[in-house]
Amino acid sequence: MTLVLGLVVAVTLAQTPQPTQTPQTPPPQPAAPTAHLAGRVTVEGTNAPLADARVFVMPMFARGTPPPRPMMPMGPPPEAITDQDGRFAFPRLRPGEYRIDVQRTGYAPLEGDGGRGRTIQVAEGQSAEVQLQLQKGAVISGRILSPSGEPQTDVRVMALRRIQGPQTQQRLMPAPMQGSQQTNDLGEFRLAGLAPGEYFVSASPQMQSRFGGPGVAPPAPAVPGKTQTTITTTYYPGTADAAAAQPIAVARGAEVGNISFTLQSVPAFRVSGVVVDEDGKPVGGAFVNLMNDPRSGQMFMGPGGSARTNDEGRFTIASVVAGSYHATASVPIIMNGVAGGVATWSSSVGSASGGPIVSGGRGVVTGGAMVGAGGGGAGMNPPTEVVVADTDVTGVRIVARKPQ
Closest CA to 201 of 262, 117, 116, 292: 262
Pair (101, 120) in one structural domain:
yes
Pair (180, 244) in one structural domain:
yes
Residue with the larger pLDDT of the pair 378 and 143? 143
Q: Is residue 360 part of a domain?
A: yes
Q: Is residue 244 part of a domain?
A: yes
Pair (274, 356) in one structural domain:
yes
Q: Which helix (H) or strand (E) holds 268?
A: strand 265-276
Lowest mean pLDDT among 146-160, 323-337, 363-377: 363-377
CATH number of domain containing 180? 2.60.40.10
pLDDT of 254 over the 90 cut: yes
Q: Is residue 351 part of a domain?
A: yes
Q: Report pLDDT for 31.
A: 57
Pair (304, 372) in one structural domain:
yes
Pair (254, 179) in one structural domain:
yes
Q: What percent of the chain has pLDDT over 90?
A: 36
Domain stop point among 108, 134, 160: 134
Pair (162, 287) in one structural domain:
no
Written as one string, the DSSP assignment of 313-365 is SEEEEEEEPSEEEEEEEEEEEEETTEEEEEEEEEEEE---TTSPP-TTSEEEE
Pair (56, 82) in one structural domain:
yes
Q: Which of 163-167, 254-258, 301-305 is the most confident on average?
A: 254-258
Pair (290, 331) in one structural domain:
yes
pLDDT (tens digit per residue) in 96-137: 899 999 999 899 988 654 555 688 888 888 889 999 999 999
Q: Is residue 7 part of a domain?
A: no
CA distance 55 to 77: 10
Pair (255, 184) in one structural domain:
yes
Q: How far is CA 7 from CA 2, 15, 17, 18, in A?
A: 9, 12, 18, 19
Q: Report pLDDT for 17.
A: 52
Closest CA to 48 of 99, 89, 82: 82
Domain stop point among 134, 153, 176: 134
Q: Which helix (H) or strand (E) holds 60?
A: strand 54-60
Residues 6+ apart with CB under 8 A from 196: 108, 138, 250, 251, 252
Pair (46, 106) in one structural domain:
yes
pLDDT of 151 over the 90 cut: yes
pLDDT of 379 over the 80 cut: no
State the pLDDT confidence band at 70, using cuts at 50, 70 and 90: very low
Q: Is residue 5 part of a domain?
A: no
pLDDT of 390 over the 60 cut: yes
Written as one string, the DSSP assignment of 185-245 is TTSEEEEEEEPSEEEEEEEEPPPPPTT--TTSPPPPPPPTT--EEEE--EETTTBS-GGG-
Q: Report pLDDT for 294.
A: 63
A 10 A CB-CB count for 362 gives 20
A 10 A CB-CB count for 4 gives 8
Q: How far is CA 281 from CA 173, 303, 322, 345, 351, in A?
A: 39, 27, 30, 14, 16
Across 273-289, b (16+ Cβ under 10 Å) vs e yields bbbbbeeeeebebbbbb
Q: Report pLDDT for 38.
A: 94
pLDDT (tens digit per residue) in 206-226: 754 444 444 344 555 566 656
Region 315-344: mean pLDDT is 70
Region 6-11: mean pLDDT is 41
> Per DSSP, what are the bridge partners of residue 399?
276, 349
Pair (188, 248) in one structural domain:
yes
pLDDT of 337 over the 80 cut: no
Q: Which helix (H) or strand (E) holds 6?
A: helix 2-15
Residues 6+ apart with CB under 8 A from 63: none
> Per DSSP, what are the bridge partners of residue 198?
249
Q: What percent of the chain has pLDDT over 70?
A: 63
Q: Is residue 171 part of a domain?
A: yes
State the pLDDT confidence band at 10, using cuts at 50, 70 and 90: very low
Structural domain range at position 274: 268-401
CA distance 117 to 134: 11
Pair (105, 158) in one structural domain:
no
Q: Report pLDDT for 200.
A: 95
Written as one string, the DSSP assignment of 89-148 is EEEEE-SEEEEEEEE-TTBPPPSSTTTS-EEEEE-TT-EEEEEEEEPBPEEEEEEEE-TT
Q: Which helix (H) or strand (E) holds 267?
A: strand 265-276
Average pLDDT, the chain: 75
Number of domains in the chain: 3
Closest CA to 60 of 113, 131, 10: 113
- By three-state DSSP, how is residue 288 classified? strand
Closest CA to 112 of 127, 130, 129: 130
CB 320, CB 270: distance < 8 Å:
yes
Q: Is residue 319 part of a domain?
A: yes
- Residue 216, Cα to own-chain centre: how many angstroms? 24
Q: Report pLDDT for 1.
A: 46
State the pLDDT confidence band at 171, using cuts at 50, 70 and 90: confident
Q: Is residue 6 part of a domain?
A: no
pLDDT of 397 over the 80 cut: yes
Q: Report pLDDT for 398.
A: 87
